[in-house]
Chains A and B, each alone.
Chain A
């Protein structure tokens, strides 16, 4: 019976070296359910011997060994399990705290900008290059710049006229201009130069 049982176990666990007893030698952290069944079969066999078999003392000794070994394994597993449990609990607590913090921040954020929609923007108030002027202010500044630039152009033109000494005589020349007959005789180059200056004066006079 014992031999037969052993033979069956060996067939089932072909890869194991020492039959069902070898399960007791394994590290408790590598035990599988199969190993537990092996241990149970070993213990069961010895219990059978204890009640009915001829080898009572031997069976009792083996049972004692098995019990001690099983209890050792149980101890190792329990302490390992409680260690793991402790680790997991700590991990869970820290994740829970992180989640709370994120939730709190999200709540604070949505409290500040309650209608933050897809077209809204969050502005970092510590960013020196953050947007801070309105479109209307930019429009006004541009308008002012354009006006100043136009004035500058007029002043430059006026300065040019003073430099070339025209402006003091401009009234007289403008009168001459009006009197000038409209004929199509081509002028000499010297004439046309003088007239170019007058013309520039003219464009200034009617500038703005």
Chain B
């Protein structure tokens, strides 16, 4: 996996990648949480690397692997090869100067591998449900995929994304019509909606940057809350150690 720098404006280092459509998005904020910003500005020292787990699910042949490969390897394979069981990629980010990794789990869409793939659903911080913009039936199945993935997780702490792939295969008119359905689905699923094309690369980087930004912010805030909770018992030393990633942000501005 090549390193990817999150395309955040250097003048506004705390700015978030924007949503795809305001009608189905997880949050409207332009900047990271104030608490996070404060923490970054106050702390010193070093910290461990942050990793968030992302699970990608959806019907067979909707393009889950193609989407991930386009992002992680900037490649598009024309020939279809079914994923066996499960695969993964690790993508390195630098968000506001802090090293941050996404562990992206690519699951098989074939029914026969479901029992293997579902064992990897646990502990997800992000669930990406994928469907084919050119095959409306695959959209219908996204709710079931999400339900299966959520069963292994605590639903309230997970970011859910609904992604329509193969945007290059449909006309703008068809895409717009399908997006209306998809946005309805996304709202039911409490998901953020994106249309992408792994073949042309359209919106792929933006989408994963958005995923990374939201997951990063949440994992940092959770860390902060955890530290604050422990502070009374174990003093501020731990807090300083835990928040030390912020130092990196300033060092690498």
Residues of A within 8 A of B (CB): 135, 138-139, 142, 146, 149-150, 153, 174, 177-178, 180, 182-187, 192, 195-196, 198-200, 202-203, 206-207
Tell me the bound Cα distance from A178 to B92 in angstroms: 22
Q: A182-B44, A199-B97, A203-B49 are in contact. Are A146 and B88 (CB under 8 A)?
A: yes
> Could you tell me the distance in whole angstroms from the C-beta of A35 to the nearest C-beta in chain B?
71
When the two chains form the complex, which single residue of A135, A192, A198, A206 contacts B253, counting CB atoms closer than 8 Å? A192
A195 CB to closest chain B CB (Å) equals 5
CB distance from B7 to the nearest CB of A (A): 15
Q: Which residues of A contact B84 (CB under 8 A)?
A: 138, 142
Are B251 and A200 in contact, with the CB atoms below 8 A?
no
B253 touches A184 (CB 8 A): yes
Distance in Å: Cβ of A70 to nearest Cβ of chain B: 77
Give the one of B43, B97, B252 with max A CB within 10 A.
B252
Task: Knowing A142-B85, A186-B253 are in contact, say whether A207-B49 is a contact too (CB < 8 A).
Answer: yes
Instruction: Say whether B85 contacts A178, CB under 8 Å.
Output: no
- 25 A-B pairs (CB sep. < 8 Å): A135-B115, A138-B84, A138-B116, A139-B116, A142-B116, A146-B87, A146-B88, A177-B248, A177-B251, A182-B44, A182-B247, A182-B251, A185-B253, A195-B251, A195-B252, A199-B94, A199-B251, A200-B3, A202-B46, A202-B49, A202-B99, A203-B49, A203-B99, A206-B47, A207-B49
| Contact, CB under 8 Å: B119 / A139 | yes
Please determine whether A206 and B86 come into contact, CB atoms closer than 8 angstroms. Answer: no
- The A-contacting residues of B in range 28-56, CB under 8 angstroms, are 41, 43-49
User: Is the Cβ of B1 less than 8 Å from the Cβ of A153?
Assistant: yes
| CB of B90 closer than 8 Å to a CB of A | yes
Q: Given A138-B85, A146-B88, A149-B88, verify A183-B250 contact (CB < 8 Å).
A: yes
The interface residues of chain A lying within 8 Å CB-to-CB of B41 are 182, 184
The range of chain B's interface size is 20 to 34
**Majority secondary structure of chain B interface residues (helix, strand, loop or mixed):** mixed
Q: How distant is the Cα of A146 from the Cα of B87 in the complex, in angstroms?
A: 7
Residue from A149, A174, A178, A192 within 8 A of B252 (CB atoms): A192
| B246 close to chain A: CB less than 8 A | yes
> A135, A187, A203: which has the most chain B beta carbons within 10 Å?
A203
Chain A nearest CB: distance from B152 CB in Å?
16
Contact status of A199 and B252, CB under 8 A, knowing A138-B85, A178-B45, A182-B246: yes
Residues of B contacting A198 with CB < 8 Å? Answer: 251-252
Distance, CA A57 to CA B86, complexed state (A):
108
Most buried by A among B45, B49, B97, B246: B49
Let me know if B92 and A203 touch, CB within 8 A.
Answer: yes
A122 to B47: give the CA distance in the assembly, Å. Answer: 57
